[in-house]
Amino acid sequence: MAKIKLEYIWLDGYTPLAGLRSKTKIIDGNVSSLKLEDLPVWGFDGSSTQQAEGKSSDCQLKPVALFPDVTRKNAFLVMSEVLMPKGEPHPSNSRATIPDDPDTWFGFEQEYFFFQNGRPLGFPVDGYPAPQGPYYTGVGYRSIGNVARKIVEEHIDLCVAAGINIEGINAEVAKGQWEFQIFGKGSKNAADQVWVARYILSRLCEGYGIDIEWGCKPVRGEWGRSLDWNGSGMHCNFSTKHLRDVGGKAYFEKLMAAFDKHRDEHIAVYGPDNHLRLTGLHETQSIDKFSYGLADRGASIRIPHSFINNGYRGYLEDRRPNSAADPYLVAGRIIRTIQTVPTA
């Protein structure tokens, strides 16, 4: 038996952007054989997280996913859902209310900014860096600096050690902006991994005196020249068993018609302030329009060449979700829309 550290992680009740919260529980157990079902439900003060009133503040944390935490001895990260005192899902619990299908696969491309002293990392104290161009997949101190790459390399290692299926990273189009990619089978599995990867990155940056800015358009207003910067997205690549195995042009066109029909429902859960990013400029479609196109980074849905070449089979990319979106809600909405389209 050993003393095991369990870091319970959950989403608070702040709107329009939920924040990550966590606290540590110590239990006795066997590190090598610990399973999700061994973990207890645990309580917390919901009045301090916008999830309860002080006169009735008890909320519960239900473990839903377990990841090794190599930053601590005998430790695990525990992704958790928030429950009401009697065990029903809390109104802020987005995970508990979405459909799930292990045959629907998701790949999330999570963009974000490093922020330090109130500005993107690498931005000069006065004025602006050179316009976007040299930063995307850039190499060298002038484009990348010396701290960001060190952090993202550590983030890769921590995610891999945790069993998170991180598939890549790259510097993005603005100074101080980066991206990581997560793949998972099933809406809940994929989104769990995105949230825990976000948590790992935010916690890692504490040691560097750096914050992560998840907002989709942080370079605007006081910084001016907002249209010169693309903003941050969380493009969602998705496929179903039917799309991978059967597909076909007729089914694809029906699917796109359904995405067009449910455009407003998608936009409603694709992240706050998305009107600042989905302007129709800088590799986006306008927020009030729906379009799809072959290799078109300015469309709502980008169709890869491989999809067409394979007889309209494979995956598609929804480019509308932004960097601050809740991946549970994004994946859940995509599944709901797909389910409206008959496969026969």
What does the pLDDT look like over 152-192, one tens digit per residue?
A: 999 999 999 999 999 999 999 999 999 999 999 999 999 99
Band of pLDDT at residue 228, cut at 50, 70 and 90: low
188, 192, 167, 161: which is closest to 68 by C-alpha?
A: 161
State mean pLDDT over 292-302.
96
Q: How far apart are CA 72 and CA 70, in angstroms?
A: 5
Is a pLDDT exceeding 60 seen at residue 244?
A: yes
* Structural domain contains residue 242: yes
| CATH value at residue 272 | 3.30.590.10
Query: Which of 87-96, 220-229, 255-264 shows the lowest mean pLDDT across its residues?
Result: 220-229
The predicted structure's pLDDT at residue 131: 80
State mean pLDDT over 190-206.
98
* Whether residue 111 is found in the same domain as residue 253: yes
3-58 per-position pLDDT tens digit: 999 999 999 999 999 999 999 999 999 999 999 999 999 999 999 999 999 888 99
* Whether residue 85 is found in the same domain as residue 113: no
Is a pLDDT exceeding 80 seen at residue 127?
A: no
* Structural domain contains residue 128: yes
Is a pLDDT exceeding 90 seen at residue 221?
A: no
* Whether residue 140 is found in the same domain as residue 28: no
* Whether residue 160 is found in the same domain as residue 48: no
* Whether residue 146 is found in the same domain as residue 285: yes
pTM of the predicted protein model: 0.96
- Per the structure, the complete domain to which residue 287 belongs is given by 105-339
* Structural domain contains residue 97: no
The predicted structure's pLDDT at residue 183: 98
* Whether residue 155 is found in the same domain as residue 67: no
What is the widest separation between alpha-carbon atoms in the chain? Answer: 61
Could you tell me how many residues make up the chain? 344
* Whether residue 251 is found in the same domain as residue 170: yes
* Whether residue 189 is found in the same domain as residue 40: no
CA distances from 157 to 164, 204, 313 (A): 10, 11, 33
Q: Where are the beta strands (DSSP E) in 161-210?
A: 166-171, 177-185
* 3-state secondary structure (DSSP) of residue 298: coil
The predicted structure's pLDDT at residue 133: 82
Q: Is the dihedral of CA 212, 180, 192, 276 positive or negative?
A: positive
State mean pLDDT over 311-315.
98
Average pLDDT over the chain, rounded to whole? 94
67-98 per-position pLDDT tens digit: 999 999 999 999 999 999 999 999 999 999 99
Band of pLDDT at residue 222, cut at 50, 70 and 90: very low
* 3-state secondary structure (DSSP) of residue 106: strand
List CB contacts of 253: < 8 A, sequence separation 6 or more. none
State mean pLDDT over 229-233.
89
State mean pLDDT over 101-109.
96
* Whether residue 22 is found in the same domain as residue 142: no
Counting residues of the chain whose pLDDT is more than 70, the rounded percentage is: 97
* Structural domain contains residue 119: yes
Q: Identify which has the larger pLDDT, 131 or 18.
A: 18
Band of pLDDT at residue 226, cut at 50, 70 and 90: very low
Q: How many helices (H) and strands (E) does the chain have?
A: 8, 14
Is a pLDDT exceeding 90 seen at residue 344?
A: no
The predicted structure's pLDDT at residue 220: 65
State mean pLDDT over 255-268.
98
Tell me how many domains the chain contains.
Answer: 2
| CATH value at residue 50 | 3.10.20.70
